[in-house]
Amino acid sequence: MTSHSAPASVTIKDLHKSYGEVEVLKGIDINVSPGEVVCLIGPSGSGKSTLLRCVNLLETPNSGLIEVAGHSVTDPDVNIDKMRTNVGMVFQQFNLFSHLTVLENCTVAQIKVLKRSKAEAQKIALENLEKVGLADKAGRHPDQLSGGQQQRVAIARALSMDPQLMLFDEPTSALDPETVGDVLSIMRQLAAEGMTMIVVTHEMAFARDVADRVVFMDGGVVVEEGPAHEVIGNPQHQRTQLFLSRVLNPTAQ
């Protein structure tokens, strides 16, 4: 276990986001307790990524409030770079730095942003690479790794910053099916260690087994939320039922 920071809570209140005329988030309220794992599910285009990206301000909300560990993120005078060091983000397309080795990917921000010494940064990076099972690939470049391996490095890179919160945006959607399991099992382990996690995913088995809570979004609003087994096992709203039946039985008519 290499994360020493206490897990953060997340509060999202009446969040609105528009692109031009189009309102993509229409008043979102979500609370995440420290150490809780929340899965965001919903059809493509429902605003899941936008919501996740608002939490670390890759997108600027139009109105509403977001707090991470009690600190307002939406305050216009927030030190955004400092806030982001506490929030790890894992992207669908991995986004590893292609000109750096695996080890350098995991040390560069530690050294340049957290001002850790190179030796300390490497030690922490190797611990996290060990954790994702890729310490032996430390000297490789990202293009020499499979998609699943790249995503595991991306997780190690984020963890090397000792985040209090991890955001995952469809981390397994770009992977070959046989590598999905490795990534999910690392996320599962992270959840068990008590990390606060918000995960956008289409992996319903993962959501059911790992998430404390599932939030179903459609058309920029939260349609239904609750304990994972309830939302997935016994959805109340028709839109949730329709979505789940499509995801769980893609070939059925």
Partner 1 sequence: MALSPRQKQNYWRYSQYALLALIAIVLVIVADWGTLRDKVFNPDIIAHQFPGVITVALKNTLIYTALGFVVGLSLGVLLALMKISSIAPYRWISTLYIELFRGLPALLVFIAFGYGIPLAFGLRLNNYVTVMLALGMVSAAYIGEVLRAGLEAVPKGQYEAARSLGMGHSRAMMTVIIPQAFRIVLPPLTNEIILLTKDSSLVYLLGMSVAQYELTKFGREGISASGAGLTPLVVAGACYLIITVPLGLLARHFEKRAGARSRK
Site residues for ligand ADP per CB under 6 A:
19, 24, 42, 44-50
Q: Which stretch binds partner 1 (CB under 8 A): 28-36, 86-94, 123-131, 205-213?
A: 86-94
Would you count residue 195 as binding partner 1 (CB under 8 A)?
A: no
Helix count (H) and strand count (E) of the chain?
Answer: 9, 10
Report the nearest approach of partner 1 to the CB of residue 85 (Å): 4
Q: Distance (Å, rounded) from C-alpha 237 to C-alpha 234?
A: 9
Size of the site for partner 1 (CB under 8 A): 27
Would you count residue 196 as binding partner 1 (CB under 8 A)?
A: no
Report the nearest approach of partner 1 to the CB of residue 245 (Å): 33
Please say which residue, 28 or 109, places its beta carbon nearer to partner 1: 109
Residue 19 neighbours by CB distance under 10 Å: 10
Determine contact, residues 44/38, Cβ cutoff 8 Å.
no
Provide the angle, in degrees to the nearest 10, between the axes of the packed helices 177-192 and 147-159: 20
* Burial class of residue 119 (count of CB atoms within 10 Å of its CB; 0-12, 13-18, 19+): exposed
Q: Which does 95 bind (CB under 5 to 8 A by kind): partner 1, Mg ion, ligand ADP, none?
A: partner 1
Please say which residue, 58 or 244, places its beta carbon nearer to partner 1: 58
Would you count residue 174 as binding partner 1 (CB under 8 A)?
A: no
Residue 102 neighbours by CB distance under 10 Å: 28
DSSP E strand stretches across the chain: 10-19, 22-32, 37-41, 63-68, 71-72, 87-90, 165-169, 196-200, 213-218, 221-227
Compute CA distances 96 → 31, 150, 227, whole Å: 30, 7, 33
Would you count residue 95 as binding partner 1 (CB under 8 A)?
A: yes
Residue the block writes with tokens 């088995």 = 205
50, 49, 43: which is closest to 244 by C-alpha?
Answer: 43
In the chain, what is the greatest distance between 2 CA atoms, to the nearest angstrom?
A: 58
Q: Which stretch binds partner 1 (CB under 8 A): 1-9, 28-36, 81-89, 202-210?
A: 81-89
Q: Which does 143 bind (CB under 5 to 8 A by kind): partner 1, Mg ion, ligand ADP, none?
A: partner 1
Residues 110-169 that bind partner 1 (CB under 8 A): 112-114, 143-144, 154, 157-158, 161
Please say which residue, 163 or 220, places its beta carbon nearer to ligand ADP: 220
Q: Which stretch binds partner 1 (CB under 8 A): 37-45, 93-101, 132-140, 172-180?
A: 93-101
Q: Distance (Å, rounded) from C-alpha 155 to C-alpha 93?
A: 12
Please say which residue, 101 or 240, places its beta carbon nearer to partner 1: 101
**Which residues here bind partner 1, judged by CB under 8 A?**
56, 58, 81-82, 84-85, 87-89, 91, 93, 95-99, 108-109, 112-114, 143-144, 154, 157-158, 161
